[in-house]
A and B are shown apart, each in its own frame.
Chain A
Amino acid sequence: MSQPSLSEALCGVVRRDLLLAMRHRSDVAMSIFFVVIVASLFPLGVGPEAAVLRMIGPGVLWVTALLACLLSLGRLFTADYLDGVLEQTALIPQSLAVLVIGKVFAHWVISGLPVVLLSPLLGLQFGLGGDSLGVLTLSLLLGTPTLSMIGGIGAALTLGLRGSGLLVALLVLPLFVPVLIFGAGAVTSSMAGIGSEANLSLLGACFMLSLAFAPWATAVALRIALE
């Protein structure tokens, strides 16, 4: 009898989603383009005052990362739902919550990781220093997967509904707020010289909490959507 191991199933889900992302390069490029454009236009709009740019930089970059995640959430489950791949996934003899982790990981690689990698470059535009750039990257490294996991719940809850894009935003934005506050706060604290450990720890706690509960909640929402 055939039964995939957990790692086989997880790798299969990630591989499929990354392969699909490679075939939809424009969608991936759109997320990166959005982040780069927004983060680059802000300094032009606000003006060359270095102190102002340094002050708003962490918040702007974090909001940009958050919006980039929100924009790409629509792609997380909708296509799979429409072409029947989701019901095939739900019938894989492994925990759907674990398979959800695979899908969310692929989503993060496509939409979150590029933001993390680009963040030092984008931070330079706001005059952030070496330490602050490091904290910014670390905070995004912890925060963007959390956003993807929380976003997954919203995407699953609104699957198959009309106008789901707006509904997802309404559902997940309140849950994104703590991540945004701790993420931007970590960079601001680092710039103020009061240490970023507290904010990063809270961000880490958010990550662990979302890792523990979000996949399970998403899996339940997906099963309801399939009914």
Chain B
Amino acid sequence: MLQTVALSGSRGQRQLFSDVSVTVRPGTLLAVAGANGSGKTSFLRILCGLLSPDGGTILWQGKDIHQLKELYRAQLMYIGHLNGIKDELTPIENLTLSACLAGDDSSGTTVQKALEAVGLSRPVHVLPTRVLSQGQKRRVALARLWLSTRPLWFLDEPFASLDAAATTYLTQRLQSHLSNGGMVVVSTHQEIALPSDSVQHLGLTQ
């Protein structure tokens, strides 16, 4: 279970949010909404430990994440605005290396299956990622979710650049993760087609 207690964050001199207390229980998705610049990305980065909050505490299974350090990082998967993939490498190479660094199964078959699960056909797997469209690059980044066994996912605008088919694949993957007791925090501007009892909403206002 992930919990924030009176969390506040800012960028530079600008206060983005304050006193945010929220609990994400196993099997639930927290959808963070808000206008551009309202601090959704900062909120997610703070929850990951990439940014320091101005105040408040983040608890994972009741313990402060800043004390857990690597133990907490071993539980989470973060896909940010940036895809975190290398344009010079092929989707297969990107995913294999990424899985290897995350300690996930990086065997050829598993990686190929993950790429196929996001709708990337085999010929695309061996092209340099730089020749792919933005949507295809996003799919390569999101394919990491099909390899991940971590319970806590942070996804920053995961539906951006995705077509209807890829949106469906991702929604199905989120659904299966939640039914396995996983937790997801996602920043998004759109409604996610998941059962309402598994979705919580958090609106960030400046």
Q: Which residues of A contact B (CB under 8 A)?
A: 1-5, 8-9, 11-13, 15-16, 19-20, 23-24, 79, 82-85, 87-95, 226-227
The majority secondary structure among interface residues of chain A is helix
Q: Which residue of B lies closest to A81 (CB)?
A: B82
Tell whether, in the assembled complex, residue A2 and residue B86 are in contact, meaning their CB atoms are under 8 Å apart: no
Query: Is there a chain A Cβ closer than 8 Å to B148's Cβ?
Result: yes
Q: Which residue of A lies closest to B71 (CB)?
A: A93
A-B contact pairs, 21 of them (CB 8 A): A1-B150, A2-B102, A2-B150, A5-B103, A8-B100, A13-B101, A15-B100, A16-B97, A19-B89, A19-B97, A20-B86, A23-B128, A24-B88, A82-B82, A83-B87, A87-B82, A91-B78, A93-B70, A93-B71, A95-B70, A226-B51
Tell whether, in the assembled complex, residue B89 and residue A93 are in contact, meaning their CB atoms are under 8 Å apart: no
A89: shortest Cβ distance to chain B, in Å? 7
Query: Is there a chain A Cβ closer than 8 Å to B73's Cβ?
Result: yes
Tell whether, in the assembled complex, residue B87 and residue A92 are in contact, meaning their CB atoms are under 8 Å apart: no
A177: shortest Cβ distance to chain B, in Å? 35
Bound form: Cα–Cα A20–B97 in Å = 12
Tell whether, in the assembled complex, residue A227 and residue B102 are in contact, meaning their CB atoms are under 8 Å apart: no
Tell whether, in the assembled complex, residue B81 and residue A84 are in contact, meaning their CB atoms are under 8 Å apart: yes
Q: Which residue of B lies closest to A9 (CB)?
A: B101
Query: Is there a chain A Cβ closer than 8 Å to B56's Cβ?
Result: no
CB neighbours of B86 from chain A (8 A): 16, 20, 79, 83, 85
Tell whether, in the assembled complex, residue B149 and residue A2 are in contact, meaning their CB atoms are under 8 Å apart: yes
Q: Which residue of A lies closest to B144 (CB)?
A: A88
Tell whether, in the assembled complex, residue A92 and residue B101 are in contact, meaning their CB atoms are under 8 Å apart: yes
Query: Is there a chain A Cβ closer than 8 Å to B64's Cβ?
Result: no
Tell whether, in the assembled complex, residue A85 and residue B148 are in contact, meaning their CB atoms are under 8 Å apart: no
Q: Which residues of B contact A (CB under 8 A)?
A: 48-52, 70-71, 73-76, 78, 80-89, 93, 97-98, 100-104, 128, 148-151
CB neighbours of A227 from chain B (8 A): 50-52
CB neighbours of A226 from chain B (8 A): 50-51
Known: A8-B100, A12-B100, A227-B52. A87 touches B75 (CB 8 A): no
A222: shortest Cβ distance to chain B, in Å? 11
CB neighbours of A94 from chain B (8 A): 70
Given contacts A2-B74, A9-B101, A13-B101, 8 further A-B contacts (CB under 8 A): A1-B75, A2-B103, A15-B97, A20-B86, A24-B88, A83-B82, A83-B85, A91-B48
Residue among B70, B82, B101 facing the most chain A CB atoms (10 A cut-off): B101
CB neighbours of B74 from chain A (8 A): 1-3, 93
Tell whether, in the assembled complex, residue A4 and residue B102 are in contact, meaning their CB atoms are under 8 Å apart: yes
Bound form: Cα–Cα A85–B81 in Å = 11
B170: shortest Cβ distance to chain A, in Å? 18
Tell whether, in the assembled complex, residue A4 and residue B73 are in contact, meaning their CB atoms are under 8 Å apart: no
Q: Which residue of B lies closest to A227 (CB)?
A: B51
Bound form: Cα–Cα A92–B70 in Å = 8
CB neighbours of A11 from chain B (8 A): 100
